[in-house]
Chain A
Amino acid sequence: MCTMMIASVMAGCLGGDDDPEPEPEPVMGCMDATANNYDSTATEDDGSCTYDPVEVLGCMDSAATNYNADATTDDGSCTYPPTHASVMAGYADGTHTYAEAWAALMDIRECKETGTNNPCEIVSMGYGDAATLDPHDAYDSASGDVIENVYDTLYRYEGDGNGNAIIVPRLATSHEVSADMLTYTFTLRDDVYFSNGDHMTAEDVVYSWERVNEYASPESHVSWITEQNFETSGLTLIDDTHFSVTLMQPYAGFVSTIAYTVGAVVNKDMCEANRVVVADDPATTDVDETSDDWCHGWMDEAPLGAGTGAYILDTWSREDKIIMTPNWMHWDSGNYNINKFTEFTNVDESQTRLLAFQDGEADFGALNFEDLPNFCYIDDNGNGMFDAGEDAALDDKPNIASKDGYICTYRESFTITLAALNLDPNDATETPILNYDSDGDGTDDANVMSVPAVRTAIAYAFDYDTARRVTYDNNLAPVYGPIPNGFLYDESQYEVFTYDLTHAEQLLEDAGFVRQYDCAELANNNTVMVTDDPATTEDETASACRLPSILRIMANEGNDYRIAMAAQIEQALGSIGVATDGDAKPWAEYLDMYYTGTFEIRFSGWAPDYLDPDNYWSPFAASSEDVYGTGYHNAALDALLQDAKVSTDDTVRLDLYSQAFDLWVEDPNMIIVGQGNGIGAKHNDICSAPWAAIGSAHWFDYDKLPMVDGALVGSC
Chain B
Amino acid sequence: MKLHEFIARRVILLIPVMIGVSILTYSLLSLVPGDAAASACGDKCGVVVDTALEWNTTSEQWEEVSISAYESNVMRMGLDENLLEGYMVYVGIDGPYVGAEPLRLNSSGYLVPKTSLGEHTERNGLIDGYWGDSSLYHRPVAEVVKDFAPVTLEMSLLALLIAYPLGIFLGILSAVWQDQIFDQLSRLMAIAFVSLPIFWLAILFQKLFATKIGICDDLFGTSGGCFPIFGRHDPSVAFPTGDDQYVSWYPAGGTGFHLIDSWFVNDETLSLMGSDFDTRWELFKDTLLHLMLPCMTLGIASAGGLLRYMRASLLEVLREDYVRTARAKGLSGYRVIVVHACRNALVPIVTLLGFSIGGAIGGAVLTESIFAFTGMGRIAVEAIQYDDQVVVMGVTLITSVIFLMSNLIVDISYAIVDPRVRLE
> Measuring CB to CB, which residues of chain A are less than 8 angstroms from any residue of chain B?
121, 123, 125, 131-132, 139, 216-219, 221, 223-224, 284, 286-291, 300, 314-315, 317-321, 323, 340, 342, 344, 346-349, 351-352, 355-356, 358-361, 585-589, 591-592, 594-595, 604-606, 619, 625-629
Contact = CB atoms under 8 A, between A and B. Distances in A.
B210 interface: yes
B132 interface: no
A300, A344, A595 — most chain B CB neighbours (10 Å): A595
Given A221-B41, A347-B230, A352 B34 contact: no
Contacts, number: 170
B386 interface: yes
Contacts of B42: 591
A288 B115 CA distance: 10
A352 B372 CA distance: 8
Contact of B225 (A291, A359, A586, A587): A359
A131 B372 contact: no
B306 interface: no
Contacts of A284: 118
B76 A627 contact: no
Contacts of B40: 219
Given A221-B41, A323-B235, A288 B72 contact: no
A591 B39 CA distance: 7
A319 B369 CA distance: 12
B107 A320 contact: no
A591 B45 contact: yes
Contact of A352 (B117, B118, B230): B230
Contact of A626 (B37, B46, B372, B374): B46
A681 B29 CA distance: 41
Contacts of A132: 138
A605 B43 contact: yes
Contacts of B46: 595, 619, 625-629
Nearest to A223: B49
A629 B50 CA distance: 17
Given A318-B137, A344-B231, A594-B45, A588 B39 contact: yes
The 7 closest A-B pairs by CB, nearest first: A588-B34, A591-B38, A287-B118, A319-B374, A592-B35, A221-B49, A342-B235
Contacts of A356: 229-230
B76 A352 contact: no
Given A288-B116, A319-B379, A594-B45, 10 more contacts: A218-B72, A224-B48, A319-B137, A352-B230, A359-B211, A586-B34, A587-B34, A595-B70, A627-B43, A627-B47
B206 A288 contact: no
Contact of A290 (B35, B107, B224, B379): B107
B47 A289 contact: no
A484 B70 CA distance: 27
Contacts of B369: 348-349
B164 interface: no
Interface string B353-387: 00000000000000001111010001100000111
Interface size class of B (residues with CB under 8 A): 35 or more
Contacts of A317: 238
B231 A619 contact: no
B50 A361 contact: no
A587 B231 CA distance: 28
A588 B386 contact: yes
B43 to A, nearest CB: 6
A74 to B, nearest CB: 43
A627 B42 CA distance: 11
B207 interface: yes
A520 to B, nearest CB: 28
Contact of B39 (A121, A131, A587): A587
A342 B148 CA distance: 20
A346 B378 contact: yes
B278 interface: no
Contacts of B35: 588-589, 591-592, 595
Given A351-B370, A360-B224, A361-B224, A625 B48 contact: yes
Nearest to B121: A287
A359 B229 contact: yes
Interface string B32-72: 11111111111111111110000000000000000001101
A523 to B, nearest CB: 22
Contacts of A589: 33-35
Given A287-B118, A347-B372, A355-B206, A588 B36 contact: yes
